[in-house]
Structure 1
């Protein structure tokens, strides 16, 4: 559930039970499990299922993929392992449309120029993520986002030290991975520092609102995510959303 008036936060690349327990303590809105081949943070479906079983149920689980078999993605959703789908490859808009029948889709775009933002504006994904490049730990020229007229998640090179600057851009959400790590491992202290710097101290689930009134795009995204998560907990077998 969303905290009204506060940006959403996603901790990406959780790999161990210790990572999940640390995340549960500071409570980001989303937790990312990386399934993309070639990533140093990649985990398999069995590990993800174990981690999900320990993740606070109000934290939405996001599966991160790059040009992977839609059937494998579908299985993860239907088995209740992930609530949302994040795409980092060259997936077609038709594939995006098909996957949106299963769960909300976040589509990532590497931003090098305003032309990249135009592509992000046109996608049919439920939410866009603007990044310097998956897993690179670098920022892009944030000034390029000025005038971008669709809710977005900002990613790439975020840290507890620069998150206040990022927040001034007023993105819908923030996605952090390497910025909450020390020597390649998730650091509970940095997780806490990131949430505090972003103004996101933990709020009990009973006090969270489902929808912030900041536009239909983000509202719909949250409602769909909540619906998927609830359905997963009830062993939902699928829906007909286009």
Structure 2
């Protein structure tokens, strides 16, 4: 089970997440988010990270030029893209990417390309970080081995995912003390629970 802690805004939280066992750290480059971080501020954090940790930039309805420049400036190794309005030409991106499906109904998940890795999140107007979860029954009888689940996850409900064969989980609000500030113990508990699935 791969684990990404999203919404990193400071070095202390980043190091606490890594020490708790996170595989990846997410940085939000969506200016309307309370977890937004400027690219060069993210870079300062990245420059102080230990090796073998993946850095992931989150973008919302941006074109490839903005994504390429921001991810370069911030030293992102991968980008995670919400592209509801078809702003992004994925063929012109300079780094690896994963698309985000903001699921509103079961058919959204059932109709996915099962050969492509994808992050599945619950639809919310604010583009995530609200603690809303996708209905787990929507995953019934489908291959979830290339899916990463986000939205509404916390240490107390991870056991409910045990029947799924998810590639990974992505958490933000579920391990926060307040919006944009992580809770060290919540991250430790979350990652421990995820590894027990």
Structure 2 residue 11 is the aligned partner of structure 1 residue 17: yes
Q: Which of 24, 27, 39 pairs up with 1:30?
A: 24
* Structure 1 segment 28-107 matched on structure 2, within 5 A: 28-79=22-73, 81-90=75-84, 92=86, 95-99=89-93, 102-107=94-99
What is aligned with 1:171? 166
Unaligned stretches of 5+ in structure 1? 1-6, 201-242
Structure 2 residue 138 is the aligned partner of structure 1 residue 144: yes
Higher-helix-fraction structure: 1
Q: TM-score, normalised by structure 1?
A: 0.72
Distance verdict in 2 for CA 1:10–1:178, change over 3 Å: same
Deviations 1:85-121 (A, max 9, x none): 101232539712322xx22211111222232124532
Whole-Å separation in 2 of the counterparts to 1:8 and 1:79: 26
Q: Is the partner of 1:131 in helix, strand or coil? A: strand
Q: TM-score, normalised by structure 2?
A: 0.87
CA contact (8 A) 2:61 2:86 kept: no
CA contact (8 A) 1:105 1:127 kept: no
Whole-Å separation in 1 of the counterparts to 2:112 and 2:163: 21
Structure 1 residue 64, shift from structure 2 partner: 0.1
Structure 2 residue 179 is the aligned partner of structure 1 residue 187: no
What is aligned with 2:122? 132
More contact order relative to length (CA 8 Å, sep ≥ 6)? 1
What is aligned with 1:157? 152
Higher-strand-fraction structure: 2
CA contact (8 A) 2:62 2:87 kept: no
Distance verdict in 2 for CA 1:22–1:69, change over 3 Å: same
CA contact (8 A) 1:36 1:68 kept: no
CA contact (8 A) 1:20 1:54 kept: no
Structure 1 residue 56, shift from structure 2 partner: 2.3
Unaligned stretches of 5+ in structure 2? none
CA contact (8 A) 1:167 1:198 kept: no
What is aligned with 2:194? 198
What is aligned with 1:240? none
Structure 1 residue 9, shift from structure 2 partner: 0.4
Structure 1 residue 77, shift from structure 2 partner: 3.8
